[in-house]
Chains A and B, each alone.
Chain A
Amino acid sequence: MTAALTRKAVLVIGGGIAGIQASIDLANMGIKVFLVEKKPSIGGRMAQLDKTFPTNDCAMCILAPKMIECANHENIELLTYSELDELEGEVGGFEAKIVRKARFIEDDKCVGCGDCAEKCPTRVVDTFNAGLDQRKAVYKYFPQAVPSTYVIDPDHCRTILGKKCGVCEKICKAKAVNYSQKDQVLTIPVGAVILATGFDPYDVAPLTEYGWGRIKNVITALQFERMICASGPTNGHLRRPSDDQEPERLAFIQCVGSRDIRHKRYCSAVCCMHATKEAMLAHEHYPRLTSTLFYMDMRAVGKGFQDYIRRARDEYAVEYIRARPGRITEKEESQNPVVRYEDTVKREFAAREFDMVILSQALIPSESNVSIAGKLGVDLDEFGFISAPEELINPFGTSREGVFGCGFCQSPMDVPDAVVRASGSASKVAEALAGVV
């Protein structure tokens, strides 16, 4: 391979839906792609969702084919469980240093049978399931993970920590376990970089008025998504954390940390819709169940969104109350949360008891943006989103030539908008590399 050819290659950082789409589009335009994802599998946040608004398509059902298309594409090289270390050079001629973290499992040998995880004695909080249950120290990130190989968590593996164990090595028929595997550093020549680092949920514990972490039956929207998801920790059964009972009355509280000058003053752009969807899904699972959604403005601006809200109200027993609740308390015996609010339409104060409360937490730029931006030399805005200096006319640009951004890492947006931005950034990159052979 000649040096010039390798430069017609792009580094995509972040393997969520935006990074996946950007990679597929670039690859379809004949451009070589290195897709770097820090987690053991691509899929990103969308993989954690149960269904998607406004079609109520199962998220995994529409995401999985894209993940597999991405992994099987001849022009795409997946570098999962990997992180950017350094980027040198300039547009058309960057050198990217990538650290491939040791999986401690030889990925060419692992057949994904899961025997190791079954026998592993160490339990660790499962962040993929939003902390609702535990996984093992050797684990697959989620059932449909791509690649489907297992990985050992070195912070919790007894053998790696120097304690007596070695169970997974003994049980593995494929002889894939390798406790002495080391991180690997790869140097990749690329012509351009696309950032698609996505979002993290905001920590709602500091909003003490809503009692998350203190009141058991108050959970976050992401926890709810995992709970209602068939492949989640409860196999799709809604259960109150306090007593494992089926809830019948749900409350959804919007703008928890969003549109709030004490926390994040921006609007997170997707919560009105995902809360509506979650209320619909709950009603689908349990037809007796009703939901009340407390909102400030019902921001249903996308195609088909208004009709979706209407359907939720008319067919799925979802009640909308324009209020920003001030406080949630807990009833002692039942452990039912009580929401205190002012209904601004009826203009009255009220306190209402629910079986469970779901907080639509603000969504914030990925915590890794800070270090990635430092390494790439691109500016972040005051919130930590990747800054687009000429956002109006060049929504993909960053402060550094040859480095582009797309998706939620730039600004809050829903999946279709992120997919549009991803494809658009691929066009922008193809323009930048048009002269490069």
Chain B
Amino acid sequence: MALRIGVFICHCGTNIGGIVDVPAVVAYARTLPNVVCAEGNLYTCSEDGLSSIRDMIKEHDLDRVVVASCTPRTHEPLFKKNCESGGLNKYLFEFVNIREHCSWVHMDTHDGATVKAKDLVRMGVAKVSLLTPQEDLATDVIRSSLVIGGGISGLTAALSLANQGYQVELIEKEDRLGGLLRDVNRVFPTNDLSKELLDPLIHAVLNHKKITAHLGVELADVKGFVGNFSVSLTKNGTAEELKVGTIVLSTGARELKPEGMFGYGRFDNVMTQLEFERKFRSDTHGLNRVVMINCVGARVEERTYCGRFCCITGMKNAILLKEENPQAEIHILHRDIMACGKVFEDYYRRALQMGIKFIRYSVDFPPEIVGSDNMARRVTVHHELMGRDVQMDVDMVLLTTPLVPGEDNQGLSRMMRIPVGNEGYFLEAHQKLRPVEFPSDGIFVAGCARYPTEITECIAQGYAAAAKAAAPMAQGRVISDAFTSEVDPSGCSACGRCIDVCPFGAIDWNEFNGSPGETRRAATVNATECKGCGLCVASCLSGALQMRGFTDEQILAMVNTTVLTAAH
């Protein structure tokens, strides 16, 4: 019986429709083999567009659907689910990307973009014709979470998960909890001691019956997938194994040590804000003239990002100094003052009202420091507002430096198969709408591991990551995609290459009964562990491996229709 294919082509407002001639692509789609209906939608993803697909499935008794629109990254799950609601097996759906592959990359050639859109739609139709119905895979979820890192973000996530009733394994490489915040003296904007914030939290974590805190341990390996991760730890050479359902990564960041900048390392009275906080917890006696330099090692060529809360850290120490000693002369040399929002703007105003002097400098004319006998004595800066150099005698110079990515990030990235961005911080699944998630299911991120983050935001992210980590455990089961690889054991030559290349450890040996009386080894894929990357398929010398939804036959159909037919 002939197939009945429906094709839906999205204008995406003018994102696609402004470049690609959508009506022409629709008309063209109608001419393709087995296509019984084709239509254009202003927004296929709107409820209008989706209900139209469902209606067409019924009206035309469609058994295959193709949508040509923006990107499968954000929209494929939506359209698949919609096909399912319309009564069609969701694996009989094919996505054609005509925004990113046509209208965006060929913005200047409308005709070319349209021809390419037609080609891609024809390829989609060729492929969808060969798709077969599949069923999702369901696996049980272990009701336990691993939290990596016992700083403020990790403590918060651990406590929230435990309070929701889940078992938590909190691991910390140091012998104590608290992370970087332990080194901080007081916290903005309340100026309370950081101890007062941390100690009750640590106490609650250590005494919670649902939390096991593993201190002084190294994370050796993470295997498995959402719902069922195997975690290997080592402590003093002894190995331990944990089984968890979800993971929160909260490994934090480090303070930048500004070696060689502004007399750091040369003068004893030049130090970072955090070093100052550790050294002078409350004893600031004799510090009458203090200059702070902001953006040290931040927003410069070699490190372009902004440290987000360093301006506020500087203000905090300035306010504390000024409270101790109202006569003190404190200058903050800054570029832009990053006091976003309600609380920090007021904090900035408070610093100004206390008489702390703010001088704006340009990155092209950095401040200069002269000293003698290992001590900085004088700072000269080009005062941008006054347009001339200003000199200040100093007792101390504080360098405001940003956080830098943790040393373990690259290693963790490889071990857990989660990405790291250009700056060296972990890269979330989507910057705008999925800030605490990773592309891999079941692993979440909170706090400074992702980007420099102030305390309140670390706490908020700890809670947010806990919500994400709790969801699969609350549901009890995870549903995974049916597009995994499979082995035809009769064709397998048992070379073992696929086992070597699989990054997920999803392929193993199995006994296979071939011709009568013959039992031999063949590779077999554990479908719940397979992520459908396709490496094994590419590595197989015998052609015994195929990827569901991307079989050789399906791919070749797409290639053939490209080479053998011309759209125009």
Interface of chain A residues 320 through 363 with chain B (CB within 8 A): 344-345, 347
Whether B464 lies near A427 (C-beta < 8 A) is yes
Whether A420 lies near B464 (C-beta < 8 A) is yes
Chain B residues with Cβ under 8 A from A299's Cβ? 336, 338-340
How many Cβ-Cβ contacts under 8 Å join chain A to chain B? 226
Interface of chain B residues 141 through 182 with chain A (CB within 8 A): 160, 163-165
In this assembly, does B75 line the interface, its C-beta being within 8 Å of a C-beta of chain A? yes
Complexed CA–CA distance, A229 and B307 (Å): 32
User: Given A236, A267, A431, which contacts B340 in the complex, CB threshold below 8 Å?
Assistant: A267
Interface of chain B residues 242 through 298 with chain A (CB within 8 A): none
In this assembly, does B344 line the interface, its C-beta being within 8 Å of a C-beta of chain A? yes
Mostly helix, strand, loop or mixed at chain A's interface? loop
Quick one: given A61-B74, A265-B349, are A419 and B164 in contact (CB under 8 Å)? Answer: no
Whether B471 lies near A28 (C-beta < 8 A) is yes
Complexed CA–CA distance, A148 and B45 (Å): 12
Whether A68 lies near B463 (C-beta < 8 A) is no
Chain B residues with Cβ under 8 A from A259's Cβ? 345
User: Given B78, B164, B339, which contacts A434 in the complex, CB threshold below 8 Å?
Assistant: B164
Whether A423 lies near B464 (C-beta < 8 A) is yes
Whether B14 lies near A236 (C-beta < 8 A) is yes
User: Distance in Å from the Cβ of B502 to the closest Cβ of chain A?
Assistant: 30
User: Given A303, A347, A426, which contacts B387 in the complex, CB threshold below 8 Å?
Assistant: A347
Whether B304 lies near A144 (C-beta < 8 A) is no
In this assembly, does A377 line the interface, its C-beta being within 8 Å of a C-beta of chain B? no
User: Given A65, A392, A428, which contacts B463 in the complex, CB threshold below 8 Å?
Assistant: A428
Quick one: given A236-B13, A416-B435, are A395 and B349 in contact (CB under 8 Å)? Answer: no
In this assembly, does A36 line the interface, its C-beta being within 8 Å of a C-beta of chain B? no
Interface of chain B residues 42 through 56 with chain A (CB within 8 A): 42-43, 45-48, 50-51
Whether B160 lies near A395 (C-beta < 8 A) is no
In this assembly, does B475 line the interface, its C-beta being within 8 Å of a C-beta of chain A? yes
CB-based nearest B residue for A30 = B474
Interface of chain A residues 413 through 437 with chain B (CB within 8 A): 413, 415-417, 419-428, 430-431, 434
Chain B residues with Cβ under 8 A from A423's Cβ? 436, 463-465, 467-468
Complexed CA–CA distance, A21 and B467 (Å): 11
Whether B470 lies near A427 (C-beta < 8 A) is yes
Size category, B interface: 35 or more
Whether A310 lies near B304 (C-beta < 8 A) is yes
Chain A residues with Cβ under 8 A from B457's Cβ? 417, 420
- Proximity string of chain B (339-371) to chain A, C-beta cutoff 8 Å, 1 when within and 0 when not: 111111110010000000000001000000000
Whether B468 lies near A412 (C-beta < 8 A) is no
- Proximity string of chain A (42-59) to chain B, C-beta cutoff 8 Å, 1 when within and 0 when not: 000000000010110110
User: Given B85, B189, B432, B463, which contacts A424 in the complex, CB threshold below 8 Å?
Assistant: B463
Quick one: given A310-B304, A420-B457, are A58 and B467 in contact (CB under 8 Å)? Answer: no
Whether B47 lies near A148 (C-beta < 8 A) is yes
Binding site for A on B (CB under 8 A): 12-15, 18, 42-43, 45-48, 50-51, 70, 74-75, 77-78, 81, 85, 160, 163-165, 187, 189-190, 192, 197, 299, 304-306, 308-309, 336-346, 349, 362, 384-385, 387, 421, 423, 425, 430-436, 450-451, 455-457, 459-468, 470-471, 474-475
Q: A392-B187, A427-B467 are in contact. List 12 more A-B contacts (CB 8 A).
A: A60-B43, A68-B78, A148-B51, A298-B336, A302-B308, A302-B451, A304-B431, A391-B456, A419-B433, A419-B464, A424-B463, A431-B164
